[in-house]
Structure 1
């Protein structure tokens, strides 16, 4: 159905990739691997999305990177269609209206889809917070690429990161900590946590709707 509405299978896959990864930029060959489409088709659709204004491009280290344009006038409606949502209280049904016949409350909001990586991250244990930065967002402010916070199983955590590195085809710098440790560091304005929160990042899980800005 989406292919009919939006013109092509490649375009739909690109929209899904970009809208599930706000704040993350991709280069062409990386995109072709992730969506498993021919490079000529990918280049053509990237050009179309650029001309519309849905994505932006920026050269870096002899590569041209593409990223969703979060200031695009129709960003929110497209995000609702194609974007995975951060896992937290916002992913639950909220509000509702009363059915006059039954007297029961009807939910007005269906559960929002979560980010595709959230399910994999949870295999590491009880993950309260998960975010990507560094190589994922091309911002080295934090000095790391992935942060996992929660009650984690070390063996399962190692497996998760090994699989993520394989999927991304790169070595990742990752840090884990307990929720208590994260909260304490945030309260005392720990420089490491402050740098992470100040960096460009993509939030995958935020179970407690924590404030993640400095």
Structure 2
């Protein structure tokens, strides 16, 4: 029925993917894996949805990312339709994937704060993709991130902080931490009720005064 109404099975799958995950950007090959359709068909339908204005695109790190345009005039009614669409493909909604990731994160130790940012939300202003705070086994974290990289087919930069370092940086209004907490994010774990505030505009061009080492994975 939906294929008849909206033109093609691929288009319905794309709309379901985007409207069930309105804050997640995707690149073409990632979309192709999730909807399990031919890449040429996916590219054609993405072009159609872009022309209509339902989705938008933006380049980041030599990749073109697509996400639903929440300013589109019919965003609300279309989302109401497609959040109720049940298709055979289990990957169309990422909520279960988030739950699986949270379970794996908790297996690395006592996680107090965890969120995805940077490339996960198409924000080039943030130089990390995954932020973790807690009493964690760092070798387990490294292994988990490697698994994520293999699954996604791209590099993931991440930061791990102990509760002590996190508190110290907060007290000193550390620019790095303020920027990360103020950036667009997908929250996974928050047992601290962290007050998320953007970094003050006056600090944008300044050099951070706090020189506490931070682990950022970059190969």
Q: TM-score scaled to structure 2, two decimals?
A: 0.65
With over 3 angstroms needed to count, the CA separation of the structure-2 counterparts of 1:183 and 1:4, relative to structure 1, is farther
5+ residue gaps, structure 2: 85-91, 199-219
SS at match of 1:115: helix
> Which residue is equivalent to 1:103?
none
User: Shift of residue 118 of structure 1?
Assistant: 2.8
Alignment pair present for 1:161 and 2:161: no
With over 3 angstroms needed to count, the CA separation of the structure-2 counterparts of 1:118 and 1:46, relative to structure 1, is farther
With over 3 angstroms needed to count, the CA separation of the structure-2 counterparts of 1:13 and 1:143, relative to structure 1, is same
Counterpart mapping for 1:1-150 below 5 A: 8=9, 11-12=12-13, 15-16=16-17, 19-20=20-21, 22=23, 24-51=24-51, 53-59=53-59, 63-72=63-72, 73-74=75-76, 77=80, 115-116=98-99, 117-150=101-134
| Alignment: residue pair count | 186
- Structure with more contact order per residue of length (Cα contacts < 8 Å, sep ≥ 6): 1
5+ residue gaps, structure 1: 86-112
With over 3 angstroms needed to count, the CA separation of the structure-2 counterparts of 1:132 and 1:183, relative to structure 1, is same
1:56-75 residue CA offsets vs partner (Å, 9 max, x unmatched) = 12345765321122334317
What is the alpha-carbon root mean square deviation over aligned residues?
Answer: 3.6
SS at match of 2:120: coil
Check whether the contact 2:13–2:35 (CA below 8 A) recurs between aligned residues. no
* 1:184 aligns with one of 168, 192, 196: 168
C-alpha separation between the residues in 1 aligned to 2:60 and 2:94? 27
SS at match of 1:141: coil
SS at match of 1:128: strand
